[in-house]
Amino acid sequence: MGKFINEFKAFAVKGNAVDMAVGVIIGGAFGKIVSSIVNDLIMPPIGWLIGGVNFSDLKITLPAEKIADGIEMQAATINYGSFIQNLIDFVIIAFCVFLLVKGINKLANKKQEKPAPTPAPEPSAEEKLLAEIRDLMKEKK
């Protein structure tokens, strides 16, 4: 049991697990902000433009059935308006995450693009020949 607890501690304090937890928390908060933007800022004008429609109210009501003794089952609904709002939420979140990842990759690429020091170029054949001539002339003196 002690080994299991030690393994769990090692996992919990690893950078990856902590980073993932922070990402999930931030992602949840970001999702609420995007949902608010969609529900409170984007969808009302779109609904107004198409005739005052509130997307969250859009639904198809299925026929209710009578169970027994005149008791009617509550009608089921297909809430496609809510689905439309969630789809818009997803598109906005996906676009924001795309921009974030693109920005991070651009920064990472700038760090990687630092040119490595290049070794001095090897002298050409003429330079080597001139160096030999120079050395021979020094020897003769």
Q: For 99, phi and psi rounded to 5 degrees?
A: -65, -40
Domain boundaries, the chain: 2-115
Give me the helix-helix angle, 15-36 and 2-12, nearest 10°.
50
User: What residues are paired with 77 via a beta bridge?
Assistant: 61
* 89 and 38 Cβ atoms separated by less than 8 Å: yes
- Residue 47: the pLDDT is 79
Average pLDDT over residues 64-90: 81
pLDDT tens readout for residues 26-73:
888 888 888 888 888 888 888 788 887 777 788 998 887 777 676 777
Measure the CA–CA gap between 59 and 72, rounded to whole angstroms: 20
* Domain 2-115 superfamily per CATH: Large-conductance mechanosensitive channel, MscL; domain 1 (1.10.1200.120)
pLDDT surpasses 80 at 131: yes
Average pLDDT of the residues of the chain: 81
- Torsion angle of C-alpha atoms 39, 41, 43, 44, degrees rounded to 10: 110
H/E stretch holding 5: helix 2-12
- Residue 116: the pLDDT is 66
Structure tokens at 72: 């009617």
Measure the CA–CA gap between 41 and 32, rounded to whole angstroms: 13
Residues in the chain: 141
CA neighbor of 88 nearest in space, from 27, 50, 31: 31
Q: Which of 17-26, 96-105, 108-117, 119-128 has the lowest mean pLDDT?
A: 108-117
- Residue 114: the pLDDT is 67
Higher pLDDT, 106 or 72: 106
